[in-house]
Amino acid sequence: MRQLFDYRHVPRAARTRILAWMVLGSVLSYMACSRYLIGMGQVDGQSMAPNLEDGQRLIINRAVYRMRDPYPGEVVALRLPGEDELTVKRVIALPGDLVKIHGGHVLVNGRVLPEPYLPAGAVTLSHAMHERSYRIADGCFFVLGDNRQASADSRLFGAIARDRLVGRVML
């Protein structure tokens, strides 16, 4: 039994090939996991404060949205058109929902959206929406930053296509 695990009986060329295959397998496994399962990120800016602070490290679950769509309230990593960097925002409304920002509140399908993750007294300004109702197209999601005063989000660039969502942010 001892000889089964004793590398001294394995020819040198075979040991080199085994080591090379182990290194290659490790590199390929890392690349596959970081591309399709789990990724890392870092918050850059204040658009998600106070829940996510500038410089905070994040784990991004890249696999979850291959199995299901995001839920309202989830924090997602997404890639904006024409940008290389990931952006972090919160899903507010789903395809087919009617969104309106009125009186400092977000209304989804005519009801004020409860937002326990926002600081007390936080108001949401309508920006480019001009307090108009906005129907979310099929395959798109309405996203907002938690720091509504300092966030470029769906109020400015519209709903985000499903294929732009990279994954769910986990701490």
The model's pLDDT over 124-171, given as tens digits with 9 standing for 90+, comes to: 988 888 878 999 999 999 999 999 988 889 999 999 999 999 999 987
Same-domain check for residues 162 and 104 = yes
- Check residues 93 and 9 and name the one with the higher pLDDT: 93
With pLDDT > 70 as the criterion, what percentage of the chain qualifies?
Answer: 95
Q: Report yes or no on whether pTM surpasses 0.85.
A: no
Say how far apart CA 166 and CA 83 lie, in whole Å: 13
Q: Which of 34, 47, 151, 154 is catalytic?
A: 47
Pick the catalytic residue: 89, 100, 133, 154?
89
Same domain (yes/no): 17, 63: no
pLDDT digits (tens, 9 = 90+) for 79-106: 988 888 889 999 999 999 999 999 889 9
Task: Give the CATH number of the domain where residue 55 resides.
Answer: 2.10.109.10
Tokens of 56: 């905070």
- Size of the chain, expressed as the number of residues it contains: 171
If asked whether residues 23 and 75 sit together in one domain, one would say no
Given a contact cutoff of 8 angstroms between Cβ atoms, the answer to whether 160 and 69 are in contact is no
Contact between 60 and 167 (Cβ < 8 Å): yes
- 108 and 95 in one domain? yes
Q: What is the pLDDT of residue 132?
A: 87
Given a cut of 80, is residue 77 above it in pLDDT? yes
What stretch of H or E contains 79?
strand 75-79
Residue-wise pLDDT for 15-73, tens only, equals 888 888 989 988 888 877 777 778 888 888 889 989 999 889 999 999 899 899 999 99
Q: Are residues 110 and 137 in the same domain?
A: yes
Closest CA to 39 of 55, 63, 17: 63
Q: Are 37 and 62 in contact (CB under 8 A)?
A: yes
Structural domain span for residue 17: 1-36
Instruction: Tell me, yes or no, if 89 is annotated catalytic.
Output: yes
Same domain, 54 and 73: yes
Closest to 97 in 3D by CA, of 75, 113, 114: 113
Sheet strand arrangement including 38-42? 38-42, 57-61, 165-170, 75-79, 86-93, 140-144, 160-161
